[in-house]
Structure 1
Amino acid sequence: MINKQNKKMTVINGSHFSNLEGFYEEVSQLFMKDENWKVGTLDGFDDILYGVNSNITWKDSQKSKEDLGFDSTKEFYQNKIRIGKPFNIQLIQQKLDDLIDRNGQTLFEILVEIIESHQNIRLILK
């Protein structure tokens, strides 16, 4: 659907997923349906948004905020530390420490920041 500003309207439905992998599946279906690869990283998500000119409504964003909140973010960082290379363990440990100290971002906040960093995208949290 196209609105008055010639922007496509896209809906991320938070009720369709409850973890980061589910989010990647959701956005892959929305933005990559004609491609033969899927989003699987935060950088990959950022990459697919280049060239997107859209109003994105994130339905059930409060559910996503909880699902992709402190606990899942902590697990996300702990898994990267456990895997080790190629990840920068020192940097990830700092991000985990910041999160535990309540100074770091949750996955939800990171995803919102990625979306909002793209000038041609307007994000509406519902």
Structure 2
Amino acid sequence: MEHEKINKKITVIDGSHFSDLKGFYEEFSQLFMKDEDWKVGTLDGFDDILYGVETDITWKNSQKSKEDLGFDVTKEFYENKIKQGKPFNVKLIQQKLDELIEGNGPTLFEILIEIIESHKNITLILD
């Protein structure tokens, strides 16, 4: 068992390579889906890909990502979904937007962290 731990894969996500959610998805797709003919484009899709992934993820320049994917971008993310309407649950998204504005809701950065940390085979290191 110890031997396996030593050989555990380490994947580096570099926050200096992107400044928005689309860029994060592109960075992630490059790292995890090189041979696939589709790319990550949603939070659910991101979550799905992490099933079965066994790696340590080091998120370099995570402070930059925390700012890039912070309050303003998250607010815009929800507002765009509300504007778009279907297929989105506008009521739920409005609730998430309200929570964000009240200071109780997570930013996109925090949502991505939550998703990664929900996968027990992945260890996340913020650098």
TM tier, smaller: over 0.9
Structure 1: tracts of 5 or more residues without a match: none
Alpha-carbon displacement from aligned partner over 1:95-122 (angstroms, at most 9, x marks no partner): 0000000000000000000000000000
Q: CA RMSD in A?
A: 1.0
- In structure 1, the residue matched to 2:54 is 53
- Matched with 2:34 is 33
Aligned length: 124
Corresponding letter in the other structure for 1:104 = G
Percent same amino acid at aligned positions? Answer: 78
TM-score normalised over the length of structure 1: 0.96
Write out per-residue CA displacement over residues 39-94 of structure 1, whole angstroms, 9 at most, x where no aligned residue.
00000000010000100000000000000000000000000000000000000000
SS at match of 2:35: coil
In the other structure, the counterpart of 1:88 is 89
Cα deviation for residue 7 of structure 1 reads: 1.7
Select the structure that is richer in helix. Answer: 2
TM-score (norm 2): 0.96
Alpha-carbon distance in structure 2 between the residues aligned to 1:103 and 1:16:
29
CA-CA distance at 1:4 after TM superposition: 5.7
SS at match of 2:56: strand
Say if 2:2 is the partner of 1:12. no
Structure 2 equivalent of residue 23 of structure 1 = 24
Pairwise mapping of residues 111-122 of structure 1 onto structure 2 (< 5 A)? 111-122=112-123
Q: What is the distance in 2 between the residues matched to 1:30 and 1:57?
A: 12
User: Structure 2 CA distance, aligned partners of 1:86 and 1:33?
Assistant: 29
Paired letter, 1:9: I
Q: 1-side partners of 2:4 and 2:52: how far apart?
A: 19
Q: What is the one-letter code of the residue matched to 1:80?
A: K
The letter for the 1-side match of 2:20 is N
> Is 1:109 the counterpart of 2:119 in the alignment?
no
Distance 2:74 2:4 in 1: 37
SS at match of 1:94: helix
